[in-house]
Amino acid sequence: MKDLKYLSALSIPLAAAISIYFKGHWSYFTPVYAFIVIPFLELLMPLDTDNLTAEQLDKKSNSPVFDWMLYLNIPIVFGFLIYTLWDISTHTYAVYEIVGLVLSVGIVLGVNGINVGHELGHRQQSIERYFGKLLLLPSFYMHFYIEHNFGHHANAATHEDPATAKYNQSVYSFWFTSVFGQYFSAWKLQSQILNRSKLSFLNPKNDMFWYLILQSLYLLTVYYFFGLSGMYFALAVGVVGFLLLETVNYIEHYGLIRKKLPSGRYERVQESHSWNSNHVIGRIILYELTRHSDHHYKSAKKYQLLDCHDTSPQMPYGYPTSMVLSFFPPIWFRIMNPRIPEEMK
């Protein structure tokens, strides 16, 4: 039964269901749950630094339960999205209710969509990678698959990585530099991938073209079935979804920089180049994303197997709480800047 703890990640869609069903002021229940209730629970719950034994690793690595808990997010994400699109296109709601629903569904797209898509995007089986890209689609972030796997994991904690927040950079500045930086980086990486295979930029194997087509078709389909109001809603929740991802990106490597070697290359990514958290609630809700150093050490390692490393820099709070703190730059800088090693500043 302990293995089923990751079903707690579905408490985010459950909160969204409450927002969607009751409307009114309840439409804001999901952001309240995600950014007030969960951080409060994180403060109450103890840290868990335990790693799995060899026997547990063997058992959990071969259990399909952990994979199916990820797959379950696909019908949930698209079910919520389709129902809400139908609801807002057939009923009239106050502007404040629409804003609350945008935030609620957008949080589902970020946590249960992009975050799970990120995990599946690292898998070895093609079908799982396709599932991952599918979950990125409603947030218009399919390019994330290319940039993250071939760009970020090579350049993390360097000035060449748009997804690494610089020292004293606010999350709002980072949203801008990371969103556009990663998108242009994805096109550049796609071009390099095609060149290595001696294929032209206009080749059908250019995935970036397919992502543009699929995301455009998605919007056109929404417009056809749900009208202009549905299309605007789809755009808005997609933006909330990817900004949630970028906020996570912001806290994962904030201010941490790899040393440049005399050869001009950077030192290998180590445990000291990612911020980690062993706060239980954040670990479960985000499918162990908070054990980020081990993820960078071996990106194909499944979420349920990730280890805690003593040498990894630890955040004073969990990821959900840290995300909230990042929205207030002076507080964030005061808490995090003293924790960054002097040689990295």
d(CA 65, CA 215): 31
Asked if residues 303 and 129 have their Cβ atoms less than 8 Å apart, the reply is no
276, β-bridge pairs: 314
- Using alpha carbons, list the distances in angstroms from residue 317 to 45, 47, 174, 307: 11, 10, 21, 18
pLDDT at 1: 65
Look-up of token digits 């730059």: 329
pLDDT at 56: 87
Asked if residues 108 and 16 have their Cβ atoms less than 8 Å apart, the reply is yes
Q: What is the pLDDT along the chain (345 residues), one digit of tens a residue?
A: 677 899 999 999 999 999 999 999 999 999 999 999 999 999 888 888 889 888 888 889 989 999 999 999 999 999 999 999 999 999 999 999 999 999 999 999 999 999 999 999 999 999 999 999 999 999 999 999 999 999 999 999 999 999 999 999 999 999 999 999 999 999 999 999 999 999 998 899 999 999 999 999 999 999 999 999 999 999 999 999 999 999 999 999 999 999 989 888 999 998 899 999 999 999 999 999 999 999 998 888 999 999 998 888 999 999 999 999 999 999 999 999 999 998 887
How do the domains of the chain map onto residue ranges? 2-344
Q: For 113-131, what is each residue's pLDDT tens digit?
A: 999 999 999 999 999 999 9
Helix (H, G, I), strand (E, B) or coil at 314: strand
The end-to-end CA distance of the chain, in Å, is: 45
pTM for the whole structure? 0.95
Report DSSP state, residue 316: S
Q: For 324-333, what is each residue's pLDDT tens digit?
A: 999 999 999 9
d(CA 292, CA 345): 21
d(CA 115, CA 120): 9
d(CA 280, CA 99): 30
